[in-house]
Structure 1
Amino acid sequence: MPPLLLGDDDVRARLDAPTAVTAVRQALLAHHAGTLTAPPRVRTGLGDGDLVFTAGQLREQGLHGFRVYDDWDRNSDQLVAVWDTGTGRLRGLVHGGELGPRRTGAIGALAVNALARPEASRLGLVGAGVQAWTQLWALAAVRHIDEVVVSASRPARAAAFAERAWRELDLKVRAVDSAERAVRGQDIVIVATNSPTPVLNEEWVSPGTHLTTLGPKTVSQHEIPAALAERADVVVTDSRAQVAGYAESHIFGLSTMTELGAVLAGAAPGRTSAGQITVFCSVGLAGTDVAVAAALLG
C-alpha cells in the first residue's frame, strides 16, 4: 500500500481542533516522560537561504519523522513525513502551509488552558494572520471564551478576521483600532506578529493576565517588551532545548523557564495565584508536527 500524500485541502477537511490538541498534548507529555526524542531544529545552508529541519521520535507510538521548510519565503510549503519505526514503512506525507500553524495553535491552546485563570474568558489578539487564527481555532476547543477582540496593523485585516471567526467558528469577535484596546483589561492576550519591536506596552498587561507570544523574542528582536520579563511571575515554553538552540539569547532567559509538558504532567507548578502574570513563549517543540500528521494520517 503506497503512503498517503495529503495537502492543505485535506488538512482543512480532516483535521479538527480537538484531534490536534489531543495529539499535541500526548506529545508534550511524552516529551516530559522522555519517550519523545525532540532535538532542536537544524539549519542547512544553501547559499540563498536555509532548509530548516525538525525531527522527532514518539517511541510509545512507534513513529518517527521530520518536518522541513525553507526560510526564503514565509509562505513556502512545508513537508512533514511520518514513518512506522517498527517496519520502516513511510506512512505518509503532509505538504502545504496548514499543518504547522494548526500544530502551533494546539500547543498554544494547551498553554492557555494550563496557565490562564480558570474563569478567564476575555481574549485579546494582537495580530490577525494565520498564527492568530489557528490559536483561536484551537483555543475554542478547550476554553469557553465570552469576549474576543482583535487588532492588526491593517484594520481591514482585523475586520476580515472577525467576520471569518463568526462564519467558521461561530464566535463573535470585535475588531479594534489599536493594540492597546486589544490588550487592556483582557484575561488572556495572544501576540502573533512578526514585529522585531514591541507592539504593546507592558503597563497594558493587568495582574492576573496570561500572555502568549508567538513572534520574535530574542534580545535584539522581540514583539513584546523586555520589561515583561521582570513582571512575569511564571514563564513557560514548549521546548527549553529549542530556546537554548537559538543563536541569540531569549529575552526571558532559559533559567526562568518551565516546560509546558512538566506543567501538564503536574510535575511543575504553573499559575499558583489569581494575580500572577503568566507568559507562554511558543518556540515549536520538535516532533509535535509528526504527532499531528500521524493523527491526520490515521
Structure 2
Amino acid sequence: MLLLNDDDVRAHLDAPTAVRAVRKALLAANEGGLHAPPRVRADLGGGQLVFTAGHLRAEKLFGFRAYDTLVGAEQLVAVWDTEGGRLRAVVHGDELGVRRTGAIGAVAVDAAANPGPVRLGLVGAGTHAWAQLWAISSVRQVREATVAARRPERAEAFARRADEELGVTVRAVRTAEEAVRDHDVLVVATNSPVPVLDADWIAPGTHVTTLGPKTISRHEVPEALANRADVLFTDSPAQAAAYSEPHILPVDRMIALGAILSGTATGRTSPEQITVFCSVGLAGTEVAVAAALGEAAHHHARRLRP
C-alpha cells in the first residue's frame, strides 16, 4: 500500500495521466461502468465531513474521498481493488483533488472548444485556475493566455509561474473584461459570491468553464450566461441537481460530459456556438486519478531499484 502526499502528486502525476484517467471515468459513468452515489455528509456541529465514493468496474477499483467543511483539513483519498480487497493507495493533501478538477476541465475544453490552438482567458489566479492551465495545456496548444485576479500581484505571480513551470506565456491583465473578451476558452475560477463578468463580454464561439460558486445566493457567473449558452453541460447532472440550493444555471438543460464524449449526446455543432461547462466534480474521478498516481509512483520506484 502506498501512502502519498502533495509532494508525491506534484512529482508523479503529470497532466496527460490525469486527463486519461478522468476521461475513462467520465465515459464509464455514461456507460454504467462507474457507480458513484450522491455525496454523504456527516454533521460535525459547525461543519461537515463529506464523502464521495466510486466503483470503477472495468478497472476493478473502488474507493472514497473525504473532506471537511469544519476547519479546512487535509483531504483524504483511499483506493482498494475488488479482487482481494487490497488497499492500494492512500493520498492525503489537497493537490490530488485540485488536479483532478483541472483534468475534468481539460476534457471539457477538448470536447467542446473549437478545434486547434486556443486563446485562453482565466479569471482567478488561485490553485484551481493553475490546475486548469496545467491540464488544458496538455490537450491544446495555448497560443495566448491572459489572467485577471482581484489582487493584481497574484495575477502577475501566476503569469511568472506559468512561464517557469509550464513554458506557457501568460499575460496578467488588470480587469476581468480583458481576460474574457476575444478568447476561445474562458475559465472562471473564483470564490466570488457575485458575478465577476458580464455575459455580453463573451464572444460567439467561446467555451466557458465555471468552477466557483454557482447557486442562487452565491454565483461567480451571471444568470444571463445560460441565455448565451448554446450547449450547457456538466460532469454530473445528478450531482448538479442534488445541491441543497438551486443552481443559477438551469440543471434541466445540462448534458453529461460523458455523453458528449461517447457521442450519445450532441455538443458543439458550429464554430459560432457558445458552450458552457458547469464543473461539479464527478464522484469517483478522484479514485481513478489516485489509482493512476499510484501506478506512476510504483513505476518510478521500480526504476530506482538496483
| Unmatched 5+ stretches in structure 2 | 296-306
Aligned to 2:229: 232
| TM-score, normalised via structure 2 length | 0.95
Q: Distance in 2 between matches of 1:228 and 1:253?
A: 10
Structure 1 window deviating more from structure 2 (25-34 vs 39-48): it is: 39-48
**Runs of 4 or more above 4 Å deviation:** none
For the pair 1:203 / 2:230, whether they are aligned, the reply is no
SS at 2:63's partner residue?
Answer: strand
Equivalences for 1:146-165 in 2 at 5 Å? 146-165=143-162
For the pair 1:93 / 2:102, whether they are aligned, the reply is no
Q: Distance in 1 between matches of 2:214 and 2:117?
A: 25
Q: Please give the per-residue CA displacement for 1:92-111, whole angstroms capped at 9, x wherever unaligned.
A: 10000100000000000000
Q: Please give the per-residue CA displacement for 1:105-139, whole angstroms capped at 9, x wherever unaligned.
A: 00000000110111351010000000000000000
Q: CA deviation at 1:88?
A: 1.0
The two structures, once aligned, show a CA RMSD in angstroms of 0.8
Q: CA deviation at 1:72?
A: 2.6
Q: Distance in 1 between matches of 2:229 and 2:294?
A: 39
For the pair 1:264 / 2:261, whether they are aligned, the reply is yes
Contact 2:121–2:180 at 8 Å: present in 1 too? yes
Aligned to 1:38: 36
Aligned to 2:68: 70
Using a 3 Å threshold, how does the CA distance of structure 1 residues 100 and 271 change in structure 2: closer, same or farther? same
Q: Distance in 2 between matches of 1:40 and 1:186?
A: 35
Number of aligned residue pairs: 295
Aligned to 2:168: 171
Contact 1:235–1:278 at 8 Å: present in 2 too? yes
Contact 1:120–1:188 at 8 Å: present in 2 too? no
Q: Distance in 1 between matches of 2:148 and 2:227?
A: 25
Contact 2:116–2:141 at 8 Å: present in 1 too? no
Aligned to 1:121: 118
Q: Distance in 2 between matches of 1:20 and 1:143?
A: 15
SS at 1:174's partner residue?
Answer: strand
Q: Distance in 1 between matches of 2:251 and 2:118?
A: 30
Q: Distance in 2 between matches of 1:70 and 1:138?
A: 26
For the pair 1:279 / 2:268, whether they are aligned, the reply is no
**Sequence identity (%):** 65
Amino acid at match of 2:153: A
For the pair 1:241 / 2:238, whether they are aligned, the reply is yes
For the pair 1:292 / 2:292, whether they are aligned, the reply is no
Contact 2:44–2:70 at 8 Å: present in 1 too? no
Q: Distance in 2 between matches of 1:143 and 1:111?
A: 12
Contact 2:116–2:140 at 8 Å: present in 1 too? no
Q: CA deviation at 1:251?
A: 1.6
Q: Please give the per-residue CA displacement for 1:229-267, whole angstroms capped at 9, x wherever unaligned.
A: 111110010001101110111122221000000001111
Structure 1 window deviating more from structure 2 (113-122 vs 268-277): it is: 113-122
Q: CA deviation at 1:39?
A: 1.4
| TM-score, normalised via structure 1 length | 0.98
Q: Distance in 1 between matches of 2:37 and 2:145?
A: 36
Amino acid at match of 2:93: G
